[in-house]
Structure 1
Amino acid sequence: MSKDNLKIGFVGTGVMGRSMVKNLLKAGYFVSVTNRTKASAEELFPLGARWVDSVAELAGLSDVVITIVGYPKDVEEVYLSEEGLISNAKSGSVLIDMTTSSPFLAKRIALEGKSKGIDILDAPVSGGDVGAKNGTLVIMVGGEEEVFNKVKPIFEAMGKNIILHGPAGAGQYTKMSNQITIAAGMVGVCEAIAYAQKAGLDPNRVLDSIGGGAAGSWSLSNLGPRMIAGHFEPGFYVKHFIKDMNIALESAKEMGLMTPGLELAKSLYEQLADDGEENSGTHALYKLYMK
């Protein structure tokens, strides 16, 4: 799709969405935004973003609409309600859900869109707030190849590793694989740093050693230093990670797959949320170990 006269709509200007919109604007796209609270989008207006009052209005004005909201229930409302995208989007438009949501819901939305002449992609992301700011998100896509190729330049304004994994729902299944890996890995990172602390070691020097070997990971290198420094601001919320783990467990059960590591991680994160940390970053799991 050429940038000339292309109108992009964006629903959801939270931690991730704001940076994604900034990168679309930087790439030269015309972007209109809407969100439950206008205040969270204020910093985008001096950069060229246009505010629209409702999802329905945004749908009617846009050739491509991107959404990144909180929970599957929010996705369902944004796409399938009477005031939602599918009921109000133009025939021939493309709707892209970049929320981490249910694969089953992604398939349902794609079928509903197809019946109205609207193309739908599920395209959840990984890379957190850093990836969103730097335009280096991993983007995992499900949908038709022709539609994917049409909007790939838009994805390239927001990410670097962009892969079509299969039909509708495939992006969400891939993201669940990502979240399962992170869940178990975060437990290991927290335990390792807590262990180093209890052993009387300098945890930053331990990171320097183990980060360059077989134990190295994105979580260790990027979130380990935040844990040690006591900085637990969210790049990705604990409450949203618990949501993702629930989705992964539900789909794993449907496939008859056992996931004991995921179940353990979810139980630890639920303890963390019960301690009042649901709005902290996922790396706040470290606090459980350092009580």
Structure 2
Amino acid sequence: MASPGESGIGWIGAGRMGAELVRRLCAAGYDVAVYNRTRGKAEALVEHGAHVVDQPVDLAGRDIVFTMVAASADLEEVTSGEGGLFTHPDAAPKVLIDSSTVSEEASAAVRVAARKRGSELLAAPVSGNPKVVASGKLTLAVSGPRPVFDEVEPVLRALGRGVTYVGEDEVARLVKIAHNVFLGVVIQSLAEITVLAEKGGVSRAAFLDFVNDSVMGSTFSRYKSPALVNLDFTPTFTMPLLRKDFDLGLAAARTLEAPMPLASATAQLVAEAIGAGHTDEDFATLLLEQARRSGITLEAENAAVDDGLTPDE
């Protein structure tokens, strides 16, 4: 439980996504203290009302602590490693909310570590990117003890438009992995049909405008359209991160004996794109690989394309 006199929210991990979410919590009036391995990224949030701490353990007195780190090993390190959140001799947060994309095994291990300190873990992976967060359209899948979810739900709802309780323990991890596998399959399919249309003489801008206004259009197809039309692959989610999620999804499929032939094929295409050097750009660069296989070279169309992510009023 929190130490006497301390409360509020702690946040570990102020990368592009984490920083945007911290800004939303500050704007909603919450007292937020932030730790990030690269301190400068955390200090950039001071102007928004956040405080900066030197180690994760400095957040042990907070009521709620969020973690948003890159991988399973990072989550274990910031919670139980040297200077970790659960290494304070007298204090631990009431609730740890982890919004990283990590394995179910790592999540379960952190849940055990949390309970040893009298804390509860909610797994709360998110769907979106920094611009989605800024527009107020982020969604979260949450699992863990239902009474704990009910208690912190108002805080979660400050982060975006959709918060879905999906069950006990680690099932939110599977929901997020399934979501990201779908993300990869959809962008590959979108790349294939867009290249097909262009090779037949239709501009990408016109084709995607039609798709987005049809019943097949989606928030995702619309907000990826500017990248596909204008070949702006500023990263929101890189190919190596997508490959990691495919690896996790296909491992779950093997464990649960659920065949995933489309996902398996897409995973190979993602690996091929990484082998071709697409490691630091957005995963929408699958479009370029599809064009190469189709024998055409794409050029930016320099068209004005609405991404559908106008911020909420």
The interval holding the TM-score normalised by the smaller chain is over 0.9
The 5 Å alignment of 1:203-222 reads 203-222=204-223
**Structure 2 residue ranges without an equivalent (≥5):** 293-313
Q: State the alpha-carbon separation in 2 of the partners of residues 269 and 15 from structure 1.
A: 23
After TM superposition, give the deviation of residue 52 of structure 1 in Å. 0.7
Partner of 2:75: 75
Q: State the alpha-carbon separation in 2 of the partners of residues 41 and 283 from structure 1.
A: 29
- Are 1:135 and 2:136 matched, yes or no? yes
Partner of 1:123: 124
CA-to-aligned-CA distance 1:118-139 (integer Å, 9 cap, x gap): 1111000002222222232110
After TM superposition, give the deviation of residue 82 of structure 1 in Å. 4.4
After TM superposition, give the deviation of residue 237 of structure 1 in Å. 2.2
**Structure 1 residue ranges without an equivalent (≥5):** none
After TM superposition, give the deviation of residue 224 of structure 1 in Å. 2.3
After TM superposition, give the deviation of residue 39 of structure 1 in Å. 2.3
Query: Is the 8 Å Cα contact of residues 62 and 92 (structure 2) preserved in structure 1?
Result: no
The 5 Å alignment of 1:1-291 reads 6-58=7-59, 60-88=60-88, 90-91=91-92, 93-291=94-292
CA-to-aligned-CA distance 1:40-60 (integer Å, 9 cap, x gap): 2333111111111111222x2
SS for the counterpart of 2:66 is strand
Report the residue type matching 2:161 in the other structure.
Answer: K
Q: State the alpha-carbon separation in 1 of the partners of residues 91 and 6 from structure 2.
A: 15
Query: Is the 8 Å Cα contact of residues 277 and 284 (structure 1) preserved in structure 2?
Result: yes
Greater shift after overlay, 213-222 or 17-26?
213-222
Q: State the alpha-carbon separation in 2 of the partners of residues 229 and 194 from structure 1.
A: 14
Q: State the alpha-carbon separation in 2 of the partners of residues 276 and 90 from structure 1.
A: 46
Report the residue type matching 2:31 in the other structure.
Answer: F
Q: State the alpha-carbon separation in 2 of the partners of residues 10 and 107 from structure 1.
A: 20
CA-to-aligned-CA distance 1:3-32 (integer Å, 9 cap, x gap): x97421111111111110000000001111
After TM superposition, give the deviation of residue 74 of structure 1 in Å. 1.2
Q: State the alpha-carbon separation in 1 of the partners of residues 61 and 273 from structure 2.
A: 42
SS for the counterpart of 2:10 is strand
Q: State the alpha-carbon separation in 1 of the partners of residues 273 and 93 from structure 2.
A: 45
After TM superposition, give the deviation of residue 282 of structure 1 in Å. 1.8
CA-to-aligned-CA distance 1:236-289 (integer Å, 9 cap, x gap): 222211111111111111111111211222221122222222221121211212
Greater shift after overlay, 83-92 or 205-214?
83-92
Q: State the alpha-carbon separation in 2 of the partners of residues 42 and 75 from structure 1.
A: 21
Query: Is the 8 Å Cα contact of residues 20 and 135 (structure 1) preserved in structure 2?
Result: no
CA-to-aligned-CA distance 1:152-211 (integer Å, 9 cap, x gap): 111111111101111110111111221122121111111111112211212111112122
Is the helix fraction higher in 1 or 2?
Answer: 1
SS for the counterpart of 2:121 is strand
Report the residue type matching 1:156 in the other structure.
Answer: R
Report the residue type matching 2:225 in the other structure.
Answer: G
Query: Is the 8 Å Cα contact of residues 65 and 93 (structure 2) preserved in structure 1?
Result: no
SS for the counterpart of 2:161 is strand
Q: State the alpha-carbon separation in 2 of the partners of residues 104 and 25 from structure 1.
A: 32
After TM superposition, give the deviation of residue 107 of structure 1 in Å. 2.1
Q: What is the TM-score when the length of structure 1 is the normalising length? A: 0.92
Report the residue type matching 1:270 in the other structure.
Answer: A
Q: State the alpha-carbon separation in 2 of the partners of residues 73 and 261 from structure 1.
A: 29
SS for the counterpart of 1:163 is strand
Larger radius of gyration: 2
Report the residue type matching 1:61 in the other structure.
Answer: G
Q: State the alpha-carbon separation in 2 of the partners of residues 132 and 236 from structure 1.
A: 14
Q: State the alpha-carbon separation in 2 of the partners of residues 271 and 68 from structure 1.
A: 28
Report the residue type matching 1:167 in the other structure.
Answer: E
Q: State the alpha-carbon separation in 2 of the partners of residues 227 and 164 from structure 1.
A: 33
SS for the counterpart of 2:118 is coil
